[in-house]
Amino acid sequence: MDKWNPELVVAEYNTLREEILKRIEIRYQLLTITVTAFGAILAFGSQLKNAILIFLYPLLALCSMIIWLSNKYDIEQISAYIKKGIESKVGKENLNWESQRVLIERQGVERLLSYGSTGFFISTQLLALAIGIVMLSIYPGANNTVAVVCAVLAALCFVLTLMLLLPRKKREASVNDSPHQKPWRE
């Protein structure tokens, strides 16, 4: 085993765990902001009978979801590094949270828990699309070319969201992989 400084390893571990916690906090803040924006856009768009405004929500939700996924990916990277770069150095009898977490993931618990957030992004976009389309059909003055183009763009945002959020098989990094290698989804 290479020589390593336990104090530096513990400091690195604590810093990385703090970064994970901060990224989790950012993800919840994004969800809160997106929920608030959804309610405000729906209320304001409905009151003004403006379908175009409502069709802007799927784009906002897509952007929020991409940032949300980016933080999720970074958390997975940090987690993989802790597991392979730190826990393997100090021994699983000393630090083993990330190794244990992988066992929980394999049981499908994490997938079930993530449906809340992914379901939120999908369902609110679908609801905004439906309300916007209904408004286009109810209010003839709102049915113009710009509104139709916005509806198509909102539908494309929804499809892209589905493509990004649908469950995909995770590729587990092999034991021989570098602790610096990034985990990814196939």
First to last CA, the chain: 33
The pTM (predicted TM-score) of the whole model is: 0.78
As beta bridge partners, residue 170 has 185
As beta bridge partners, residue 184 has 171
**pLDDT at residue 9, rounded to an integer:** 84
Cβ atoms within 10 A of the Cβ of 143, count?
A: 14
Judge whether 74 and 23 are in contact, CB under 8 Å.
yes
Q: Which of 4-13, 37-46, 159-168 has the highest mean pLDDT?
A: 37-46
Question: Hey, where are the domains in the chain?
Answer: 6-166
pLDDT surpassing 80 at residue 69: yes
Q: Return mean pLDDT, the chain.
A: 82
Query: At which residue do the structure tokens 């083993």 appear?
Result: 96
pLDDT surpassing 90 at residue 64: yes
- Residue 64 has φ and ψ, to the nearest 5°, of -60, -40
Core vs surface per residue 106-117: b (16+ CB within 10 A) or e: eeeeeeeeeeeb
Judge whether 54 and 41 are in contact, CB under 8 Å.
yes
What is the per-residue pLDDT across 98-112, written as a single tens digit (0 to 9) for each?
A: 766 666 555 566 666
Judge whether 77 and 183 are in contact, CB under 8 Å.
yes
Query: At which residue do the structure tokens 């493509």 appear?
Result: 163
Judge whether 46 and 9 are in contact, CB under 8 Å.
no
